[in-house]
Structure 1
């Protein structure tokens, strides 16, 4: 199922020009482009060879499938603004998230406007990136729309691609995990190379833990103090070509071990981020880690007002936003969840702040991209599908919620972990967000 379809005038290309090669990324923005503005950014890459290596690694990620039945998708997202470019992508199975950040030090050019768009990574584009030499001057133009792009060899036929709904759902989940992460390890370039050399052979069927044995990083089947859980550790082979180029590798993980991230400091204002879901078969789009924050719906005008304040890549600081606007912290948490549910927020691990993407503002996506939330509201709309059983000490509430063919017992509102007797909760134990029965009980009986 797709959320929107994009049509490109032609594939991206490396175009030969008298002043040097120009890297042109075929783009389509969902927002209407301002009259007379053809590009978001136009300029030169200060280290074009290194940027090409980062973009090539991003292309490897978008072409990767760690779940056989997943569809092949090759369309990274680029956000321009605030003096930088961020290229983001998922693996086709949605379990790996990658981002290449090109900061002000990496760029020599002009930002004509801020915005977010999809770019086309086709085979000619990948091959062109591979041909860029260390000293080759390359111009980068991002955000071109309804303008014909041509390779040096001539005109290229236009293509149509589809942006799946699960990409926005994946963006929602990834920023939620990244915002929880803590830095666990910091490795040198030599240690980063050793990390790849110590990867277990073949496809990992069980969890591995990244540990330091003396100065050398290694993977063990059992964790210990300071160890980082890495599910589907074979996915790290995506970084084989880039790790030898990094100055520093920083490793992050969530406290509950449900996601890990690897940040490669490449120097010259370039940084590459790779985040992994807890298991190779788990796509970020199905995690639901923001659902509880969406239980209490905010007025649409509040969310729209916040959206109007920010441009592409601008910093969003929830604490500062709460102080400046006189809002309670829990209200800002719900605001963050609402913006994130539309794909509008990302998270920068090293700077420890959210950043903004300029996607179209569509409140209906909060429901349409979160079927568990939609189903919970349907349960509330029925006459007796959510029933109170008892309220115990500390506000612990027991409820009965109608399932497909049976009633489920739900516990919410107390200091203990949320519980439900449905198969979803039994199989995931709350690790992939609450089920629809817990959400319905929270909406009905727990005061937000």
Structure 2
């Protein structure tokens, strides 16, 4: 696996000063030569520093969590400054849990000098310092400082450079696609939110559980019922134990496919915390492939570049309104969003029902390099004899033969039914983790794509 190397001018830290303590987060650059010139994005005071510290501590807890023992350690959340907000994002080390702390205008008393995205180091001294912030403590937050040092009575703390694996961006692509599809299913009070965690089964839960309301009290059942929310790896919700007693409202969202669920804690004072769970504890978001069909047909490069420039300037947008304002088909907007999110450039805000922009490098080659199934499907199309038409049935249902390694697979695409394939990937996942390369190749060759 090829990693993205991120360089830092100096470490992130909580620094004591005459006006209080300042939380300074070091900005990244894709190469060390650019690190020294990174601008300061935001500097100011946290209006409720204790509550923000609880949110950041929960984010650090998510980062440190590993629900698959052999997964690699991933300890570097990101922060995006833009549209008057700061958004801190992270994955668990196993990549199956996504978390985000949003600090809106009400939570901040400071100045946005420019928009930008930076990688944040959560080293142990930082985590320990956040845990000691008191309710009345004044804390300044600076994102993008050239030099960051943690100065405490115990000494000076220095941060090391880090490398960020490819699955980070792949996970962001998958998460925003699920979030954009989700609908709110339940809204719980603070008391109900605490009761929800108290009702969690003991230990790690391997089978699916379903979140239900029994009268006013929420709980989990082993059998689905109307209105229930499927939650895989439900024990992962214990990550929220320290934050749920502080929330005003807990909103529960579910993807129509049941392959992901999200929990949004409204903390008050312009702060909210989002936790999204993959379908199962052993499934990382980076391997889902839920955007592959949308990415299958390549858009003109100038369209993608133009959308990037527009979204970069606007920083937030609602896809439906964007389509209406610019006279575009919804399918075209979906494909533009998928292309940009495949580069890690877009996230999704459930409460505002809109995308937000991350200022990461615009590199279209990442679309293929981070999606090998799509890359392999296009390689199959390069040889005409590798994808062969067998028949076209009623309602456009098409049967094709696609070459595998020493074997031919039968593929069914088009029509109202889901695509099917006889390959081991489809047999193992039944289409729940995105299409295989054989289905993608057959769709690209034989299924007419909607026009723009």
Q: TM-score range by the shorter chain?
A: over 0.9
Cα 1:73–1:56 change in 2 (3 A) is same
Quote the Cα distance in structure 2 between the aligned partners of 1:359 and 1:75.
Answer: 15
Q: Are residues 1:368 and 2:369 paired?
A: yes
- For residue 241 of structure 1, give the secondary structure of its aligned residue in structure 2: coil
Structure 1 residue 429, shift from structure 2 partner = 1.1
Contact kept, 8 Å, 1:66 with 1:281, in 2: the verdict is yes
CA distance in 2, matches of 1:218, 1:158: 43
- Alignment pair present for 1:15 and 2:26: no
Mapped partners of 1:441, 1:53: distance in 2: 50
Give TM-score, length-normalised by structure 2: 0.96
Kept after mapping to 1: 8 A contact 2:187/2:252: yes
2:149–2:158: 8 Å Cα contact kept in structure 1?
no
In structure 2, do the counterparts of structure 1 residues 6 and 36 end up closer, same or farther at CA, with 3 Å as the change threshold?
closer
Using the alignment, how far apart are the partners of 2:209 and 2:348 within structure 1? 26
The alignment yields a C-alpha RMSD, in angstroms, of 1.7
User: Do structure 1's residue 407 and structure 2's residue 412 form an aligned pair?
Assistant: no
Give the Cα separation in 2 of the matches to 1:162 and 1:402. Answer: 37
CA contact (8 A) 1:116 1:312 kept: no
Cα distance in structure 1, aligned partners of 2:358 and 2:352: 16
State the match for 1:131 in structure 2.
132
Question: Residue 27 in 1 paired to residue 27 in 2?
Answer: yes
Q: Mapping of 1:274-285 within 5 angstroms?
A: 274-285=275-286
For 2:447 and 2:168, locate their aligned partners in 1 and report how far apart those are by CA, in whole Å: 31
Alpha-carbon distance change, 323 to 123 in structure 1, aligned in 2, over 3 angstroms: same
Q: How much has 1:356 moved relative to structure 2?
A: 1.0
SS in 1 for 2:161: strand
Report the alpha carbon displacement of residue 317 of structure 1 after superposing the two structures with TM.
Answer: 2.1
Decide whether aligned partners of structure 1 residues 37 and 398 sit closer, same or farther in structure 2, where only a CA change above 3 A counts: closer
**Contact map agreement 1:76 1:120 (CA 8 A) in 2:** yes
* Between 154-163 and 98-107, the greater mean CA deviation after superposition: 154-163
What count of residue pairs does the alignment treat as equivalent?
447
Gap change, CA 1:196 and 1:35, over 3 Å in 2? closer
Q: Quote the Cα distance in structure 2 between the aligned partners of 1:323 and 1:245.
A: 39
CA distance in 2, matches of 1:321, 1:191: 37
- Give 1:337's aligned residue: 338
Tell me the distance in 2 between the aligned counterparts of 1:29 and 1:102.
23
Q: Which structure 2 residues correspond to residues 68-87 of structure 1 after superposition, within 5 A?
A: 68-87=69-88
Question: How far has the Cα of 1:427 moved from its partner?
Answer: 1.3
- Give the 5 Å matches for 1:113-192: 113-145=114-146, 147-153=147-153, 154-192=155-193
Deviation at 1:35, TM superposition (A): 9.7
Report the counterpart of residue 39 of structure 2 in structure 1.
38
Scaled by the length of structure 1, the TM-score of the pair is 0.97
1:156 deviation in Å? 3.3
Paired with 1:297 and 1:248, the residues of 2 have a C-alpha distance of 41
Q: Which runs of 5+ in 1 are unaligned?
A: none
CA contact (8 A) 2:8 2:35 kept: no
Q: Distance in 1 between matches of 2:128 and 2:107?
A: 22
Q: Which moved more, 1:32-41 or 1:6-15?
A: 32-41
CA distance in 2, matches of 1:332, 1:204: 39
> In the alignment, which residue of structure 2 is the partner of 1:320?
321
1: CA distance, partners of 2:227 / 2:276: 18
Distance 1:307 1:7 in 2: 25
Matched, 1:445 2:450: no
Q: Residues 277-296 of structure 1: matches in 2 within 5 Å?
A: 277-296=278-297
Residue in structure 2 matched with residue 393 of structure 1 by the alignment: 394
Give the match's secondary structure for 1:176.
helix
Cα-to-partner distance string for 1:124-173 (whole Å, 9 max, x where unaligned): 0000000000000000001224x242423454334021111101000010
Q: Which residue of 1 aligns with 2:264?
A: 263
Cα distance in 1 between the residues matched to 2:229 and 2:85:
31
Q: Does 1:66 align with 2:67?
A: yes
The alpha-carbon distance between structure 1 residues 34 and 160, as it changes in their structure 2 partners (threshold 3 A), is: closer
**Whole-angstrom CA distance in 1 between matches of 2:444 and 2:317:** 28
- Whether contact under 8 Å (1:8, 1:160) holds in the other structure is yes
1:223 is displaced (CA, Å) by: 1.5
Shift of 1:264: 0.3
Q: What is the distance in 2 between the residues matched to 1:34 and 1:5?
A: 12
Q: Which moved more, 1:261-270 or 1:309-318?
A: 309-318
Separation in structure 2 between the aligned mates of residue 151 and residue 74 of structure 1, nearest angstrom: 22
Aligned to 1:350: 351
Query: 1:379 — aligned with what?
Result: 380
**Structure 1 residues 333 and 236, CA, compared in 2 at 3 Å: closer, same or farther?**
same
- The CA distance in 2 between the partners of 1:424 and 1:55, in whole Å, is 38
Contact 2:100 2:274 in 1 (8 A): yes
> Is contact 1:2–1:163 with CA below 8 Å preserved after alignment?
no
Deviates more, 1:190-199 or 1:326-335: 326-335
**Partner residue, 2:213:** 212
Are the equivalent residues in 2 in contact too, given 1:114–1:312 (CA < 8 A)? Answer: no
- Cα distance in 2 for partners of 1:11, 1:37 equals 14
